[in-house]
Structure 1
Amino acid sequence: MNEPTSPLLSLSPEILTLIITHLRTLHHPSVFTLRLACRSLDALATPVAYHSIHLNAAILSPQAESLYPQSLDKVSRFTHEVTVRCDLPSADVARILSAITRLTLVRSVILSSGRSAMFKLISRTRWSYVARNPIDAPTLRLPWHILDTTQLQRSNTSIQVENLPLGGSNCDLEESCFTPALTSRLTSLKLSSPKPPLTTRTASLKRLLLQSPHLRTLHYRDLGIGTSFAFSGAERLPPIQELVLQSYNWEHSAEQVRRHWDFSQIRSLELVNMPVANFLSSVRLRDFAGLHTLRVEDYGGHLQDTQPGATIRLCELVRHHIQALETLDITCHTQLFQLSALDRHRNSLRVLRYRDHVGFEDDSKKCPTLSRSELSALGNQLPNVHTLELDANTNTMTTTANSIDSITSFPHLTTLTLHVQTQIRASDPINPTHDPDRTAALQTFTGLTNRRRWQRITINVGGWRRRSMIRRTGYAWKRHNEQGVYAERCFWLEADGRGGYSVGEEAALGGAWCSVGSGPEGADGTGRDARMKTGQLGDGRGDGRAAIPFIRLSSITITIIVIIVIIVIIVIIVIIVIINM
């Protein structure tokens, strides 16, 4: 038997299809390129390549059948998901859709009342609402009419709604939204953050939830203190599996929770900017035994959650009730949360984000951090964690060999985020040749990358946030900011896929850009990221400037250079031969 010409082709078709499907997720155009390699890969890659398509005017053109006959045939045979813009002719769209034999998802963009709504429909339906030029209207209408109820029943369709805006006067849903044939198939409802807030008008939304018995995913998002549902009688929400409550003013008693909420099937829970103490004291913790994801953070205006009761109750939930957490993301009183509670999840936990309420936004407050011994013990306790985020003390944790050892005690850790305090003080004079925060970040990057390979390392300084960040106030800090010196910064290091790393500094949205380098414009004076090879991160001495960027050439450029060099050598040889004749 002849050996395969490529080891790749020795794999089974099922494994190759899985690999190609993953490639489509990473970079869809590459799947079409892969079809050109050989007939075997073409046969496997074609169904994956045409699994989802975006309709455009060229495909809908009457000449398309003569211009792209093979493509239209492949669309008909292999396409399952279609994205349709609202400006395309509906008759032509219907013609293409009707020719697809195994259509499962269609995404349609529909303009209505100054807004555009993105929808996926047929068989499994995901609707994503995207606002454009919002217009205040007394009610919000979802284009249910584009769905054929007979087809819904025949195809056993499920409906998912995403990014639904409910805010200001747009809090009431139109009566057509409550059609039983449609609400009975609603499985996911995700709200967008409203502007302005929902205030107290949530009756319409509550009605939709109560009439959706198969709803399994609910993302409720509001602003500020938020509001809450007012239940009465025998009203009871369906058993939610994935629940996000952002700015939900939880005021329900234990009796109200028992009567109106159903947490029997909950698997993922996120509590953001809400009174967590009220929530945890009113629910039965044993109902959350099946959680695989728990996120609790940023309590905002709910000052009662700075009390220790929420952390103690949270620790009890993790230690005694949840069976096997995979993701834990909490902001709490870390001195009250016993890390031994995580031992129950040593075999399942993959992502750990563990931060304290205090944070690093205020220079006058000291944020509690883990000691080197505590971090080392945690690494040995949680061998499967690959993503870690925590508060750190750069003066003692990340600049010595023992400190680096404690971080690398997590055997499978590849993604790390450290929150640290700025080393710049408002009273310090500005030195344009010295950047202590950047120097410390580069030292940390160097120490960590010398020990192992990383996917990404992020160092957030001084309470930096990409969005909704408030810079330090006060006359001295304002003077520093005017000269390009900030306490809130974010340095990152990321694997570039070619054996090296890219290093740079993020810019806060709406804020000034400060690249890696000395001073506000970065090392090269342009404000661009410094891109460096492993081992070229600098040692933090001298003026703190970034290492010389490593120039990377594309394969095409390298090929051209090689050809030119060969031609030059040939010309030189020919000249030498002619001279010697």
Structure 2
Amino acid sequence: MAASCPSQHNPSTQMLARLSPEILSLILDQLRALDQPSVFVLRLVCRAFDALATPVAYRAIKLNRSVLDPRADRLFPRLLNNVFRFTSDVTIRSDLNSSDVKRVLAKIKRLSLIRWRFVPRGNGVPRLWLPSDVLDRDQMLQNGTRIAIENLPLGGVQHDLDESCFHPLLTRHLVSLKLSSSNPPLTTRSDSLRRLILQSPRLRTMHYRDLGMGTSFHFAGAERLPPVVDLALQSYNWDHTPDEVGRHWDFSQIQSLELANMPVSSFLQSVSLGDFARLHTLKVEDYGGHLQDTRSMATLRLCDLVRDHILALEVLEMTCHTKLFALEAIGRHGDSLRVLRFRDHVGFEDDDKRCPTLGPADLARLAARLRHVHSLELDMDAAPCEAGGFVDALCSFESLHSLTLHVQTRIRPSDPVDPGTDRDYEAALDVFGRLIRRRAQKPWRRITINVGGWRRAMVRRMGYGWKRHNAQGVFAERCFRLERNERGRYGVHEEAAYESPRCRSPVEL
């Protein structure tokens, strides 16, 4: 049972006592967003905190088998009572029993949002059930319940959407639709998805995921997609003309846009850039499978969008021709930008190519404009003698605490293998050390050094020399991460790729 609150003579208690319940509730909301378990711990401090924190702690929950157990009302009566009284946002996995889910949801008094998350199962999945299968019409209308679907599989004949997906109880309440990457790819089988989107007038978030070159929607007549706020297109083969875009796509409300592995130039040439003025998040990455001679046009058009049309970006992540992108376009968002990823198409997957890199002077000027950027990701193809100026410029970013640098491997396929040396690891430690010493008064939260185009899942470099190195445990693609622990000490570890369990033991600096 919660204890009485501490003495009112405690200065901290006096300050809290002067805050209104509304202010305290806002503070607890922020705490829940950062670390939800802490809100449950706060309930144990005193009765007053318990009364304030309990509604916040139970506002959003994830249903599990323990909560759905028919015996739960005897095993966890207080927990279930709090769920029924205070919960409004529920996350449900598709592998849970739909009858049990329906029984529990029926008792939640203020259910405003259901997040339905598909979980794949390898042993044969029964017919896909959706939120509309476990809610009745009166309950949804009374609460104005919204539905968000995540990780929905689609692709191939056997994965076309079931007719239950088009029930009005779902389509009239669907506000968010996020696909998983199709396996096999959608190819030309996107009609059922297009139909679902067209029949969902309240849809505001749409994340389309495909593989390879992808496919695209084919519209007819007056068909027009709803005005989405958050749009992600991955491996979407954008082949729409400006006329088709004007008739069938609605970008009037868009605030977040992600384009990945698709013909970015075709997209930017067919849309009206003025429609994207209210973007706060822009993520763009072109794809080598499309015509590479259009990449320069995509970069120039992207620069126009960022510099002349978008009012206040908070997140900007892009891979482009960095030499063609005017840095002043990024600097215009200095009052709002928090996250910046600025990388070149060249990258570091080929050790014979030099990757364009910002000079220390340009980087310092950018730092002076971007006073609020806390997360930064850049290419650094610089010799050791040149790295000092680059590091100095990095450390001049006033609010920076998380940094990712992409660098080239120091190893060459013709080099002999020396078990006693690890040049990439030593180079990473050198950069870590410089960054820490240069910012002794401003601790870093996380620094990542990605070597040679490392990815969690990837194809290693080809060729006899690299195959010989790989057979001896020497790789061009590495990833080193430095993080600060709760004791204020920095620890360094190496991330392992899926096909390479080799991982260096953590060391402390």
TM-score using structure 1 length: 0.79
Say whether the 8 Å CA contact 1:441–1:491 is kept in structure 2: yes
Deviation, structure 1 residue 298? 4.2
Q: 1:426 aligns with which of 413, 433, 452?
A: 413
- CA distance change for structure 1 residues 265 and 26 in 2, over 3 Å: closer, same or farther? closer
- Would you say 1:529 and 2:503 are equivalent positions? no
Give the letter aligned to residue 46 of structure 1. Answer: T
1:17-32 to structure 2, matched below 5 A, reads: 17-32=25-40
Say whether the 8 Å CA contact 2:92–2:114 is kept in structure 1: no
1:129-165 residue CA offsets vs partner (Å, 9 max, x unmatched):
122127699x976463322122222221221111110
- Would you say 1:341 and 2:329 are equivalent positions? yes
- CA distance change for structure 1 residues 397 and 337 in 2, over 3 Å: closer, same or farther? farther
1:193-212 to structure 2, matched below 5 A, reads: 193-212=181-200
> 2-side partners of 1:91 and 1:425: how far apart?
60
Residue of structure 2 equivalent to 1:507: 496
Q: 2:463 aligns with which of 454, 469, 474?
A: 474
Partner of 2:332: helix, strand, or coil?
Answer: helix
Deviation, structure 1 residue 374? 1.1
- Would you say 1:264 and 2:252 are equivalent positions? yes
Q: 2:85 aligns with which of 59, 77, 84?
A: 77
Say whether the 8 Å CA contact 1:331–1:357 is kept in structure 2: yes
Say whether the 8 Å CA contact 1:484–1:512 is kept in structure 2: no
> 2-side partners of 1:142 and 1:63: how far apart?
24
- CA distance change for structure 1 residues 398 and 504 in 2, over 3 Å: closer, same or farther? farther
Say whether the 8 Å CA contact 2:222–2:248 is kept in structure 1: yes
1:146-187 residue CA offsets vs partner (Å, 9 max, x unmatched):
221222222212211111100122453223322234312211
Deviation, structure 1 residue 84? 6.3
Residue of structure 1 equivalent to 2:213: 225
Deviation, structure 1 residue 41? 2.8
1:174-573 to structure 2, matched below 5 A, reads: 174-304=162-292, 307-396=295-384, 399-400=387-388, 402-450=389-437, 451=439, 452-467=442-457, 469-515=458-504, 528-530=505-507, 532=508, 536=509
Deviation, structure 1 residue 332? 0.6
Give the letter aligned to residue 486 of structure 1. Answer: F
Rg larger in 1 or in 2? 1
**Identical counterparts, % of pairs:** 57
1:361-411 residue CA offsets vs partner (Å, 9 max, x unmatched):
0011111111111111111121111111010024258742x3322111211
1:499-518 residue CA offsets vs partner (Å, 9 max, x unmatched):
11221110112224231xxx
Partner of 1:244: helix, strand, or coil?
Answer: strand
- CA distance change for structure 1 residues 346 and 87 in 2, over 3 Å: closer, same or farther? closer
Partner of 1:345: helix, strand, or coil?
Answer: coil
- CA distance change for structure 1 residues 150 and 61 in 2, over 3 Å: closer, same or farther? closer
For structure 1, list consecutive stretches of 5 or more residues without a partner in the other structure. 105-122, 516-527, 537-581
> 1-side partners of 2:120 and 2:253: how far apart?
32
Say whether the 8 Å CA contact 1:267–1:293 is kept in structure 2: yes
Give the letter aligned to residue 434 of structure 1. Answer: T
> 2-side partners of 1:21 and 1:477: how far apart?
52
State which drifts further: 391-400 or 341-350. Answer: 391-400
Partner of 1:314: helix, strand, or coil?
Answer: helix
State which drifts further: 245-254 or 434-443. Answer: 434-443
> 1-side partners of 2:181 and 2:43: how far apart?
42
> 2-side partners of 1:472 and 1:32: how far apart?
49
1:284-342 residue CA offsets vs partner (Å, 9 max, x unmatched):
11111111111111413113365311111111111111111111111011111111112
State which drifts further: 90-99 or 154-163. Answer: 90-99
> 1-side partners of 2:175 and 2:472: how far apart?
52
Q: CA RMSD in A?
A: 2.7
State which drifts further: 37-46 or 328-337. Answer: 37-46
Partner of 2:267: helix, strand, or coil?
Answer: helix
- CA distance change for structure 1 residues 432 and 205 in 2, over 3 Å: closer, same or farther? same
> 2-side partners of 1:84 and 1:231: how far apart?
33
1:88-117 residue CA offsets vs partner (Å, 9 max, x unmatched):
8877766655554x342xxxxxxxxxxxxx
> 2-side partners of 1:227 and 1:59: how far apart?
40
Partner of 1:231: helix, strand, or coil?
Answer: coil
Give the letter aligned to residue 267 of structure 2. Answer: F
Deviation, structure 1 residue 83? 5.7
TM-score using structure 2 length: 0.90
1:210-232 residue CA offsets vs partner (Å, 9 max, x unmatched):
11111111111110000001112
> 2-side partners of 1:28 and 1:243: how far apart?
28
1:524-544 residue CA offsets vs partner (Å, 9 max, x unmatched):
xxxx322x1xxx3xxxxxxxx
Give the letter aligned to residue 499 of structure 1. Answer: G
- CA distance change for structure 1 residues 275 and 96 in 2, over 3 Å: closer, same or farther? closer
1:14-50 residue CA offsets vs partner (Å, 9 max, x unmatched):
4544444444445544444333333333333333344
- CA distance change for structure 1 residues 26 and 345 in 2, over 3 Å: closer, same or farther? closer
> 2-side partners of 1:64 and 1:142: how far apart?
25
- CA distance change for structure 1 residues 231 and 15 in 2, over 3 Å: closer, same or farther? same
- Would you say 1:7 and 2:12 are equivalent positions? yes
